Copies of this chain bind each other. A is one copy, B any other.
Amino acid sequence: MYDLAVELYPLPRSITGEGTRETLRRIRERLPGLVIHEVPSGTEVFDWEVPPEWNIRDAYVMNDAGEKVVDFREHTLHVVGYSVPVNREVSLEELQEHLYSIPEKPDAIPYVTSFYSPRWGFCMTHRERERLDEGTYRVVIDSTLEPGSLSYGELILPGEEETEVLLSTYVCHPQMANDQLSGPVVLTELARWLQEQPRRYTYRIVFIPETIGSITYLSRNLETMRQNTVAGYVVSCVGDERRYTFMESRLGDTLADRVTRHVMEYHTPGFTHYDFLYAGSDERQYCSPGVDLPVVSVLRTRYRDYPEYHTSLDDLSLISPVGLGGAYELYRELLRALEWNRVYRTTVPCEPRLGPRGLYPTIHHPSHRRGIKDMIHLIQYSDGDHDLVAVAERIGMPVSWCHEMATVLVEHGVLEPVAGGSPATPSDPASTVRR
């Protein structure tokens, strides 16, 4: 995963353009089924419109002495995203109005965009900005902003059921590591793993530009997604080693919320828990009132929570194979838990007889009791009303253990899955057992 991140790092991504398209092509190399869709500029997508396509070949600021004091070829963050073309001489005073830097972070090039208002500008470290002398500067941005298309990648992995799990990440940020490349590379690896698994659910895996991309995608798939989506994740900022973060859906009560909370309590204890007021990526669209999908975010250090956020300091040193691998493992646990989460019921009234099934010690002695306690609890709460995650929470065991044990109990005729007893909406009794 880290190698793919290194490979994708310098591509000049934005919400449209060749940089993003090339990023999707490189991902498709690892994920042959991926379909790259193109949506023409000007297409109306709900309240929005697909913008013109932006491409950039070169950009720099050159001083009197012919030295490039800012050079896009050194770092793609140097140009304000969606800058209109420019090629002229300006005084330092005029130039300053088009420069962006962060005084408190003097060595960071900030990430600045102007998607929906025609502007041009350069971003640079504050330290270098302060070194600029009076004089005349040539500013060159060799960009085009023309009708084209918005590109996104989509991979549908069909499962036994039409019910879907959504996995979404964005591919529109330029040269940054945690808040850009970590999401696509972890999702690519997850998709490769899912391709090899037996799947109960259908998986809808999308690589899109943030915001305008999810809006565009939803405008084309809303009905199906509203009907079928049982849970979804926005995969983003999953590359560092600092922490794990769970961010709730809008109302915080979906199956995705319950499963994620449960799994992370066992798998990544001490994780940071945010409600939806902290949402900042595509979950804003997926959970918006008119869409209202059960989508949460699982991150390592969340966007805005680390000092390098949205600057050139968010570079390849911020992410690591260990960081990416930890997130990948957590996501596998989450998806497994979703797959496992069925509603079971006992096949007979009263407790089943465990001894003849080899599930119970045949001699009854005080010291033998503890080992089978949890199995009996699992049976006791398999009442056809509560799903496996609710039962796991109630009996204080991880859902992975519950799944293993339930599988054994089904084999022995003690439990049976309830037909159609799949996803629990918040008002279903399945969602919780009172403690």
Contact between chains at B117 and A363 (CB < 8 Å): yes
What would be 22 A-B contacts, judged by CB atoms less than 8 Å apart? A47-B352, A100-B365, A110-B365, A110-B366, A114-B362, A114-B364, A116-B353, A117-B362, A117-B363, A222-B349, A285-B350, A288-B349, A288-B379, A289-B345, A289-B380, A289-B382, A290-B348, A290-B349, A291-B349, A291-B350, A292-B383, A309-B366
Question: In A379-397, which residues have CB < 8 Å from any B CB?
Answer: 379-384, 395-396
Given known contacts A290-B348, A349-B222, A115 and B276 CB-to-CB distance under 8 angstroms: no
Identify which of A186-194, A247-255, A321-329 touches chain B: A247-255
Beta-carbon contact of A215 and B288 below 8 Å? no
Q: Say if the beta carbon of A346 comes within 8 Å of chain B.
A: yes
Residues of B within 8 A of A113 (CB): 363-364
Contacts of A395 in B (CB 8 A): 277
A213 to chain B, nearest CB (A): 11
Beyond A253-B434, A349-B291, whether A119 also contacts B277 by CB under 8 A is: no
Give the contacting residue for A284; candidates B116, B310, B351; CB below 8 A: B351
Residues of B within 8 A of A284 (CB): 351, 376, 380
Known contacts: A215-B350, A289-B346. The answer to whether A116 contacts B355 by CB under 8 A is yes
Query: Which residue in B46, B222, B275, B380 is a CB contact (below 8 Å) of A288?
Result: B380
Please list the residues of chain A having a beta carbon within 8 angstroms of any beta carbon in chain B: 46-48, 80, 100, 102, 110-117, 119, 211, 214-215, 218-219, 222, 250-253, 275-277, 279, 284-285, 287-292, 309-310, 345-353, 355-356, 362-366, 376-377, 379-384, 395-396, 433-435
Complex contact A115–B215 (CB within 8 A): no
> Closest B-chain residue to A252, C-beta based?
B434
Q: Which residue of B lies closest to A395 (CB)?
A: B277
Contact indicator B218/A349 (Cβ below 8 Å): yes
Q: In the complex the two chains form, what is the Cα distance from A434 to B275 in whole Å?
A: 10
Bound Cα distance A383, B349 (Å): 38
Measured CB to CB, the closest approach of chain B to A254, in angstroms, equals: 11
A353 to chain B: which residues have CB within 8 Å?
47-48, 116
